[in-house]
């Protein structure tokens, strides 16, 4: 939760500092990072890379992972895209949340699905998405329950892109991750912060 609050603080700081710089050009009236939301020249491709924090809840006692998240989106309409995402997380110590305790955990999620965007004439671009795919965990325990496990995963959430230039934005994202390991359903939390490139 502290990481999510930290990411939100960074986004507010960046948006405030970008807004304080005034208009993009003399007499243009458009803010820095103006996004031509309703125009036909919206870039069709978008690539993002960022830091990923997960609060994983596989066995009823949560543990944290930190990692990297990479996404690619192809826009077919100004408001609709098909998105693919890869997220990898690492935990050097699961604490007492696993049996045996203090394991090293690695996670990988690969998924794809639709994204819906609310575009306007400002630098703020909110969106929502749902991604289905594979969720994989590997623990240092060589045998038993916590070895190497793969499950169907479903990620759903919202985010906002704050444009610094017409082609570069800062992203904040919050998701719920649904999985089914060990014959039971799990819900985990994910927060992502990073950069977005449009072309």
What CATH code is carried by the domain that includes residue 102?
Answer: 2.40.160.20
What domain count does the chain have? 1
Residue 25 resides in a domain: no
Do the Cβ atoms of 75 and 81 come closer than 8 Å?
A: yes
Residue 33 resides in a domain: no
Residue 150 resides in a domain: yes
Residue 28 resides in a domain: no
| DSSP 8-state secondary structure symbol assigned to residue 103 | -
| DSSP 8-state secondary structure symbol assigned to residue 30 | P
100 upstream amide cis, omega within 30 of 0: yes
- Of 27, 70, 28, 37, nearest to 192 by C-alpha is 70
Going residue by residue through the chain (199 aa), what tens digit of pLDDT does each one get? 454 444 445 444 444 444 444 434 333 444 454 444 444 567 999 999 999 999 999 877 899 999 999 999 999 999 999 999 999 999 988 888 888 888 999 999 999 999 999 988 899 999 999 999 999 999 987 666 788 999 999 999 999 999 999 999 999 999 999 999 988 899 999 999 999 999 9
Residue 29 resides in a domain: no
Residue 100 resides in a domain: yes
Do the Cβ atoms of 89 and 65 come closer than 8 Å?
A: yes
Residue 193 resides in a domain: yes
Find the domain containing 172 and state its range: 2-20+45-198
Do the Cβ atoms of 188 and 175 come closer than 8 Å?
A: no
Distance separating alpha carbons of residues 138 and 125, to the nearest angstrom: 36
- Of 93, 91, 72, nearest to 82 by C-alpha is 72
Residue 182 resides in a domain: yes
């Amino acid at each position: 939760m502290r990481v999510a609050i930290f990411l939100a603080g960074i986004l507010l700081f960046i948006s405030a500092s970008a807004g304080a710089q005034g208009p993009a050009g003399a007499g243009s009236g458009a803010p820095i990072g103006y996004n031509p939301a309703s125009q036909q020249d919206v870039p069709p491709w978008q690539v993002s890379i960022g830091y990923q924090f997960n609060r994983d809840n596989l066995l009823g006692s949560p543990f944290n992972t930190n990692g990297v998240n990479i996404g690619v989106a192809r826009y077919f309409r100004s408001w609709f895209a098909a998105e693919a995402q890869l997220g990898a997380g690492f935990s050097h110590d699961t604490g007492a949340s696993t049996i045996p305790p203090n394991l090293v955990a690695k996670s990988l999620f690969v998924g794809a699905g639709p994204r819906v965007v609310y575009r306007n004439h400002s630098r703020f671009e909110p969106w929502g998405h749902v991604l289905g795919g594979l969720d994989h965990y590997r623990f240092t325990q060589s045998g038993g329950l916590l070895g190497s496990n793969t499950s169907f995963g479903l990620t759903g959430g919202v985010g906002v892109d704050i444009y610094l230039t017409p082609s570069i934005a800062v992203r904040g994202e919050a998701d719920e991750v649904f999985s089914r390991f060990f014959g039971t359903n799990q819900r985990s939390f994910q927060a992502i912060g990073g950069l977005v490139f449009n072309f």
